[in-house]
């Protein structure tokens, strides 16, 4: 059980050994080897938030949150794998037919097949209700046409959860990557998350069976996408917390060992100010993340908004503390000798993916209430 201290310790050791040790190399090469994904699956890192009956954890939310923090501390690119793979699995669990669940969930929990979340298009980002990808009825099945872009692990996935429109109604469909008519073009040179195997995917007259639809027509965005994105926000919040911890560790280690003017950096007042910003920002974000995790685990209706708050605050925390870490490390922090420059680049993307800062602000403001006085 992941909740067991020994199991969590073993997980931390696995993540440090298999991911953290080579994270900078993966970032430089802009790839995640399939062999690494297979080892992660065998160890149990790709179960997402699935119920135990599908191969998930006994405490799905808390264990998934722990995994996201640990993997995010090592590599935000690999955190992206946990995110999109988990989102597809959760969507199937919540909205899929029994046949779809039986076909995909156990193999996904074991990491034997990888899912990717295909929502964003070249001209459509946050305005998901207006996707242009089209599904049309033909005979006993459907024909899918359209293009998706910025799809994390699109170049590695075995299954795409694709959002389209049919007769002006939103729909979600499961599309195996081996389907005829799919063209996958890897995207390189991104600011951050460089090892996340991002791709642009075109669907040209892809033939699908009626059983490919997940949920039902009309539910594509309001139910399937939003529930998956809620999990995505949770994963990015927890992963950003892990990234914040990596920054804190790096900054403090350097400030302790590095001497200037005959004393360690951490004894200089201005450096103490930067360290304080890092420590306090991280601590506040951690409390918000753990509260969102608790509410989500308990099935509290307030969990969705608290998760949005956690995603907003924690991604901004990661952006701030990565900046302060580079400042403390100086030229070293800007070089390939240290992971700090990767932290800095990755942190900036957390404020965009799975819902931008502005989308979180809208959601939070529209649901604001005055808290009770304790």
**How many CB atoms neighbour CB 41 within 10 A?**
20
Encode 81-122 in three state secondary structure: HHHHHHHHHHHHHHHCCHHHHHHHHHHHHCCCCCEEEECCCC
Q: What sign does the CA torsion over 283, 366, 80, 300 have?
A: positive
CA angle in degrees (0–180, nearest 5) for 222-69-71: 100
Structure tokens belonging to residue 216: 């039902």
**In contact, 151 and 199? CB cutoff 8 Å:** yes
Say which residues have a Cβ less than 8 Å from residue 117's Cβ, sequence separation at least 6. 84, 87, 88, 151, 152, 160, 161, 228, 232
What are the residue ranges of helices labelled H in 119-213? none
Q: Is 354 tagged catalytic? A: yes
Say which residues have a Cβ less than 8 Å from residue 280's Cβ, sequence separation at least 6. none
**In contact, 341 and 335? CB cutoff 8 Å:** yes
Helix axes 34-43, 76-95, angle to 10 degrees: 60
d(CA 164, CA 131): 6
What is the torsion angle, in degrees rounded to the nearest 10, for the CA atoms of residue 233, residue 237, residue 239 and residue 245?
170
Q: Which of the residues are catalytic? A: 354
């Amino acid at each position: 059980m992941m909740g067991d201290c020994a199991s969590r310790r073993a997980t931390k050791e696995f993540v440090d050994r298999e991911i953290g040790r080579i994270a900078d190399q993966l970032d430089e090469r802009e790839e995640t080897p399939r062999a690494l994904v297979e080892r992660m699956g065998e160890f149990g890192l790709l179960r997402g938030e699935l119920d135990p009956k599908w191969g998930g954890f006994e405490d799905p939310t808390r264990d998934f949150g722990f995994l996201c923090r640990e993997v995010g501390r090592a590599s935000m690119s690999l955190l992206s794998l946990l995110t999109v793979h988990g989102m597809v699995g959760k969507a199937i669990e919540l909205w899929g037919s029994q046949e779809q669940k039986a076909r995909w969930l156990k193999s996904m929990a074991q990491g034997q097949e990888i899912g990717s979340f295909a929502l964003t298009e070249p001209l459509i980002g946050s305005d998901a209700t207006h996707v242009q990808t089209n599904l049309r009825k033909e005979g006993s099945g459907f024909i899918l046409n359209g293009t998706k872009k910025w799809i994390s692990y699109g170049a590695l996935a075995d299954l795409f959860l694709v959002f389209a429109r049919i007769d002006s109604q939103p729909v979600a469909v499961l599309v195996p990557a081996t389907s005829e008519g799919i063209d996958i073009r890897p995207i390189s040179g991104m600011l951050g998350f460089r090892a996340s195997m991002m791709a642009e995917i075109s669907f040209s007259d892809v033939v699908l069976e009626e059983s490919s639809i997940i949920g039902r027509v009309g539910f594509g965005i309001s139910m399937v996408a939003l529930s998956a994105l809620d999990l995505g926000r949770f994963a990015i919040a927890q992963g950003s917390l892990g990234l914040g911890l990596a920054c804190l560790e790096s900054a403090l280690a350097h400030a302790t060992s590095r001497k200037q003017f005959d004393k360690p950096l951490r004894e200089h007042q201005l450096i103490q100010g930067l360290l304080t910003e890092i420590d306090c920002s991280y601590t506040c974000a951690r409390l918000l993340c753990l509260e969102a995790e608790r509410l989500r685990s308990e099935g509290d209706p307030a969990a969705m908004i608290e998760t949005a708050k956690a995603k907003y605050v924690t991604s901004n925390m990661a952006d701030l503390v990565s900046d302060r870490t580079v400042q403390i490390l100086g030229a070293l922090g800007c070089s390939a000798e240290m992971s700090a420059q990767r932290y800095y680049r990755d942190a900036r993307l957390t404020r965009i993916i799975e819902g931008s800062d502005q989308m979180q602000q809208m959601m939070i403001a529209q649901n604001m209430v005055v808290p009770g006085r304790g």
